[in-house]
Structure 1
């Protein structure tokens, strides 16, 4: 099989997995916690592999462009006294490791917080392993939005000297993608919980949405030093 066809075939399978309308067919009450976890892990890893392939391909195709971005970033970071390790994590293509680690931290935080809230609100405690699988599946939609953020940042890298109009458009696009990630991950999480555990959709949606916004706020607060 042609190696170049693998990402294409994998992306078709991912689109099938991520189609919200098919969730009730993908996740059924008869599934074991192990099956639910593997289904969520498969969706997440499949999309991440496509993301890395796409990311590296864009980097190689526009190597000179990204080299200039890296050089400009190096001057700015070193002039502000940031460490070389911090520079390494933010430069292309190595910042994909930073994105993955940040997403994993986000996943661990939101999976623990939502499980804790479910334990308080639900009458019956659900399997933690199954819960992790559902959270992985919902987090996949966050990764999907990050892919579009990468495209926007590649075409229009944010810099302080940009015009007010262009800066506003970039920030607005980030906010729209944040809303996209929040809406679809909440919808998926609540739908799967309803499909497997027959839980109330609104309660599950509130649990995920609250956790998503709270953890996002904490991360942004740390980053900007509030």
Structure 2
């Protein structure tokens, strides 16, 4: 995999520009006169819309195809968080004014999973060891997010084993999610979209099951 091949370079540039704008705003939403919940909804919606448009403009058809595969997966994954909030009691989302899925998970999480899984799958799709790389990158990325979530008041774990403020039990399931999403994409990328949809949703169910088992064994 050539790090500066156009397909990788364009993805890195897009995400660099987006997060250079998004992170300072998320840290101080009052600058634009919004509460954090409304700002996050706008930022996530902007990412979800801008990603395929930039892909089309840059001529990356696979870029858009991966987005189309991961979007339903991203929209299904908050159901696992819903389970952790309502049934397990191990996760809490502070109220920032955004509507909530099932009264539990802020609605912007329907798109936030895409913001992590898309670059992870795109960068590793043509790597020499794609699934291993995706698992390790997922571990690093999710660990950073878990660590940053509490000071940013996005979410926090409760009543589970933790280290430096983040829960331990989600880490292995999140590694499996990263590798599983890429593996399913490799299988489904040339199949009809309904087959891709079934594959994406099966990854979400797998992740929810992995969380439950990890919570039983580790949490």
TM-score with structure 2 setting the length: 0.50
Between structures 1 and 2, the one with greater helix share: 1
**Aligned match of 2:208:** none
Structure 1 residues 175-195: Cα deviation after superposition (integer angstroms, max 9, x where no partner): 213422443145325523552
Between structures 1 and 2, the one with greater strand share: 2
**Aligned match of 2:89:** 121
Conserved 8 A contact 1:135-1:189:
no
Distance 1:144 1:221, change over 3 A: closer
Distance 1:32 1:178, change over 3 A: same
Offset of residue 217 of structure 1: 4.3
Conserved 8 A contact 1:37-1:133:
yes
Distance 1:51 1:144, change over 3 A: farther
Distance 1:122 1:177, change over 3 A: closer
**Aligned match of 1:213:** 176
The secondary structure found in structure 1 opposite 2:152 is: helix
Q: 2:74 aligns with which of 89, 95, 107?
A: 107
Distance 1:16 1:139, change over 3 A: same
Measured on the aligned residues, the alpha-carbon RMSD in Å equals: 4.5
Offset of residue 106 of structure 1: 1.6
Which ranges of 4 or more aligned residues in structure 1 deviate by more than 6 Å? 7-10
**Structure 1 residues without counterparts, runs of 5 or longer:** 1-6, 60-92, 153-169
- State the distance in 2 between where 1:24 and 1:206 align: 27
Distance 1:50 1:97, change over 3 A: closer
**Aligned match of 2:133:** 176
Offset of residue 37 of structure 1: 1.9
Distance 1:143 1:213, change over 3 A: same
Distance 1:134 1:101, change over 3 A: same
- State the distance in 1 between where 2:64 and 2:118 align: 13
Q: 1:143 aligns with which of 118, 125, 133?
A: 118
Offset of residue 8 of structure 1: 11
Distance 1:26 1:177, change over 3 A: farther
Q: 2:38 matched to 1:34?
A: yes
Distance 1:209 1:218, change over 3 A: same
